[in-house]
């Protein structure tokens, strides 16, 4: 069973609550790493918390929600070993896993329709990494993380 760490800023709080309810319905264990308020907060703090949970093994995958998902993905991708993908539909969720072995899905509270998030979530949680031709590409990314490109 996949374990999920989830975090949001104030702009993503509503969609995060929707995602948590979906995870409950799907029987997926999750840990909410904040925020729990609509008061303005800084998204990098929550991206860091989720990235560390994934890297530390407390979670297998992460979900981040801010206004667009972009800021969260940028912040999370600063951590070597994190591959956060901004996901905008079910196909991008599936491909982020199959081709990029993404371990964090970032979505936008202002840009992601709640009606579409279940398909995105199911695809992100159930799709396995394909490996094969993608392995060499991920190895290049790992080398970029270890040295100045």
CA distance 132 to 135: 6
Look up 66 and say whether it is catalytic: yes
Q: Which of 10, 88, 99, 110 is catalytic?
A: 99
Full DSSP string of 28-53: --EEE-S--SSS---HHHHHHHHHHH
Do the Cβ atoms of 40 and 97 come closer than 8 Å?
no
Q: Which of 66, 88, 110, 134 is catalytic?
A: 66
CA distance 24 to 111: 23
Closest CA to 50 of 93, 96, 102: 102
Residue 145: count other Cβ atoms within 10 Å of its Cβ.
Answer: 13
Look up 99 and say whether it is catalytic: yes
Read off the tokens for 124. Answer: 């992100």
61 strand-pairing partners: 4
- Catalytic residue numbers read 66, 99
């Amino acid at each position: 069973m996949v374990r999920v760490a989830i975090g949001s800023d104030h702009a993503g709080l509503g969609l995060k609550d929707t995602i948590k309810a979906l995870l409950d319905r799907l029987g997926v264990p999750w840990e909410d790493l904040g925020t729990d308020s609509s008061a303005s907060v800084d998204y990098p703090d929550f991206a860091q918390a989720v990235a560390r949970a994934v890297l530390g093994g407390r979670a297998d995958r992460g979900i981040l929600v801010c206004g667009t998902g972009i800021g969260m993905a940028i912040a999370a991708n600063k951590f070597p070993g994190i591959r956060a993908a901004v996901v905008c539909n079910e196909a991008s969720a599936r491909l982020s896993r199959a081709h990029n072995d993404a371990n964090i899905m970032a979505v936008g509270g202002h840009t992601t329709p709640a009606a579409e998030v279940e398909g995105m979530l199911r695809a992100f949680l159930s799709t396995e990494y394909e490996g094969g031709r993608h392995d060499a590409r991920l190895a290049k990314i790992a080398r970029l993380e270890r040295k100045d490109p």
